[in-house]
Structure 1
Amino acid sequence: MAEHQLTKIRPMGKLEQISAAAHEIDFFTNAGLSVHYKASEPSIVPDLEQTVYSALGQVVRLHPVLFAVPVVSDTKEPYWGRLHLIDLKQAVSIVQRSRPLDTDGEGTDSELDALLEDQHNTSFKSGYGTRPVWRLVILQDYGTMHQFTACFIAHHSMTDGTGLQIFHNSFQKALCDVSSGSLASKSEHIIFSRDD
């Protein structure tokens, strides 16, 4: 399905249009925020992948904006379209650190920096109209299942720093809910929009 076939949510605002146009020409394509997570008890994270998918599924259900896709090309009035479903396997990558975290003495993390640079330079054009315009990259700490850095990258017309922080606040709560058992740990990879 092409993006012009998506259900129209609303017209894009002027700033959203500018960000969407910038994305089209590969200029300032996205925004991102990375947060390091550590389970208080290592034993409560038996399967990191299942935990991430369960928590992320909850976040996607909580924030319907994550189904939104800017529809710009071939239209006089750009608008937000809604995906009918999100396949989390297409939006999530779990990467193992190649070595223990080693800062250079100045607090920089070269492995995370390289990952973020790559993500910042990767647009959302691949699969456009069938995939969400955000992605979550989990950089798992070397040799452990209970510590990782979550990098949430999103199309800049969809969000800014505030929206990125809201995502991470919701993700942290969902991780805690999954770990405590108050949220089912059954991981679903296909999440349907409740507005369809």
Structure 2
Amino acid sequence: RDGALLPRALAALEIPDQEKHKCSKGSPTCATSEGLKAHHAIEIYSLHVDCKVTSRFAHTIITSKIVNRANESREATFEVELPKTAFITNFSMSIDGKVYPGIIKEKASAQKEYDTAVSRGQSAGLVKITGRKLEQFHVSVSIAAASKVTFELTYEELLKRQLGKFELLIKVRPKQLVKHFQVSCPGEGWAGSSAVVLGCAPSEMLMPTSSLSD
């Protein structure tokens, strides 16, 4: 189901995949220097992932703080890969300190209102959820010139036993260097609280995993 995140909507944000700017010489889809400037105008200056585990139940909050350094509105996208068993409990957007509640609308109506907001240079978002079990959460957002936006996504998950242990997987993909980047995951009943960094490629900065005792 799709919905618009208008000035009364909620969102989380990330920069489009840098791979989209790669191309062969002479390709009609090759990004121009202006396109690259627009890409870098959107900066994620803070990204925090806070996860708390209590009695095999995980509560995760992802907070992204973004600034548009251009002199006009810019559009960016955010994709979050959620566990199949997770469910979203909150999704909020704060523009210049003011928090707006989300509104879910019919697809065509949502797209129309989103396009109108973008044409006016307003901050707006369009949420698209794909997959029958909410495996991927996608957000398209237009950020007004020189504006700061804070996006907060909250989801919960009941951990399942695997090979005698309960595993928690957090996947973070900022797709750009983030000045303030933090992952916190305290919990009760950990069989040795730990975090393992797996493959810190630019597109997947950190993927910590931990296990709970039986």
* TM-score, normalized by the shorter chain, greater than 0.5: no
TM-score class, shorter: under 0.3
Q: Which has the higher helix share?
A: 1
- TM-score normalised by length of structure 1: 0.27
Flag the structure with more relative contact order, 1 or 2, with Cα contacts below 8 A and sequence separation at least 6: 1
- TM-score normalised by length of structure 2: 0.25
Q: Which has the higher strand share?
A: 2
